[in-house]
Amino acid sequence: MEAVRIRRELLEYLLELASDFYPNEFAGFLRERGGVFEEVLIAPNPHFGSSSAFFDTWMLPYDESIKGTVHSHPGPSPWPSQADLNFFSKFGGVHLIIAYPFVEDSVRAYRSDGSRLRIEVVD
């Protein structure tokens, strides 16, 4: 299984964000450098609710280093919903879902088509 690489610091920060926003979802865009996800960008003026997250993608800067997305699920299911798959298809790349209880084992990575990727955490 192909792997997506993410910096440990970023993964820990994403777990903290998911926990801080609970019981609401949060969402962001992932910046990649040298084949490793290193930063998250939260779009301006987001709406994070208990069953969805919305933001105006027109407010995102043009940034070729944005190669993925991340969002949390306040429930225990790490599997993408139909709405998630629709969103994935618009943004390409890699998509992380962080499910409750927001620990490393509850993070899943997917391609735009919903197929799963392995996560490799790098220091």
For residue 66, give the amino acid letter. Answer: I
pLDDT at 52: 55
Q: What is the mean pLDDT of residues 71-77?
A: 93
- Residue whose C-alpha is closest to residue 37's, from 83, 6, 76: 6
Extract the tokens encoding 29: 């865009």
pLDDT at 49: 46
Give the residue with greater pLDDT, 83 vs 109: 109
DSSP-based three-state secondary structure for 123:
coil
Q: What is the mean pLDDT of residues 70-92?
A: 88
pLDDT at 4: 97
Q: Has residue 99 got a pLDDT over 90? A: yes
pLDDT at 11: 98
Residues 6+ apart with CB under 8 A from 115: none
Extract the tokens encoding 30: 């992932």
pLDDT at 115: 95
pTM above the 0.85 mark? Answer: yes
Extract the tokens encoding 67: 């190669």
- Residue whose C-alpha is closest to residue 21's, from 69, 70, 72: 72
Residue-wise pLDDT tens digits, 20-72? 989 988 888 899 999 999 999 887 665 554 555 556 666 666 778 889 999 99
